[in-house]
Structure 1
Amino acid sequence: MFQTLSHDVQLLLIGLTVLSGLFLIAMIRTFVLLRDNDRMHSECTKMEKQALEQQIELTAIHHDAMSWRAKTQRQFDALRGDLSHRLLQSEQSNQHAQQGLDVAQSQSLTAMLAKITELEARLAAKPAPAAPSKPPAPAFAKPAESSLPSLPAMETLRLQSLEAELAATKAELTAHRQQNAALQRTLLLARRRQPALRKSGTRGMARNN
């Protein structure tokens, strides 16, 4: 009986020892888990604070970006309005210049053609030299020498002056035509620059959008 009780006591002691060891291990594990839980809770709180700060910072950045975009859009609208106004003024000035150029060209061409026609008519309508009737000179009188040039020589001088005037008029007409051609080229270049301004305005709008 004593040996049986001793054996049971030994079993009980062994069981209590095992249970005590397991309990100690469980307590140690629980302590470690509680410490890790506290550390993770503190880290989670820090991360939440950081996330809140980052969210506030992102909101401020977004607000600044929206303000900058609105300001840039207003500046672009003002610039586009100014460029449109200048383009309209340029088109109007080009139209006025073209009209003035056409009127001046037509007037100068009409005047030059009328002058050339008049000169050609004056050249074509030159009178034929007529022999002047002279009274018979007395036998004893010496014929007087005429101090004026003969009629054919005067007609030749008049024709030369008319031809010189016609040549000068034609040269002036040629100069007017060259000047008109230069003005037309200038207007053409100004009209070609207008689509370039429009394309640059469109590209700026696309970049801002």
Structure 2
Amino acid sequence: MATLLTKFGALRSTFSPFYPTEHDLQVYKRLTEELGAPPNAHICRFLGAEGQHLVFLGDSGTREWARVQRLAAQRWPGLPHPGLVARDGKTMDSLPERIVYDMLRGLLRRHMKLDVHQPILQQAGDYRADMTLRKGQASLFIEVVGCCGSDRITRNQKEQEWLQRFDKRMAFYRAHAIAPVCIWLDQFAQPGTLRKLCINLVDAIALEGARS
């Protein structure tokens, strides 16, 4: 009986559109390894055709996406865990923030700091940067836009509200002649390019900090 049930489950996972395919799992595994954390369905929106079914599974409900995570973890138990907790135990506000935080933290040099959700200006504490790279007197502010890609297209009211909050912070930056680095959701679909950006940011603050 157990064998029959196992075979039935395998057939169902093969033919049901609500189960990940082998291709889906391989894409999920590759992104997880390259990003340093499992992607969510929102990131998969920017993969094009290869992420189309993963997006469908994510849109189908939390149970379907949890199945993707569970099957991948069972098959590759060494993959990083899902969720918002970074490698050092810090809980981030979003998965994209966790990914960027872990990437940057792994690149930090001597006398360099990576702050999270600290005031952009001390006299205006209501506005906080997602992350701030610091060395000496030099600071570089980073905003991780997890609600949409660089095309600014949102799909629901919640994403629109997140984008509006981001726009308010950007207005504050402009009012004080500060130019933050913005990392959009579509950039997570190209992990190699994202990592190069993080390397460049660390290089830039290292150079500026050495001069300050």
- State TM-score, norm by structure 1: 0.17
Q: Which has the higher contact order (CA 8 A, sep 6+)?
A: 1
| Greater percentage in strand | 2
- State TM-score, norm by structure 2: 0.17
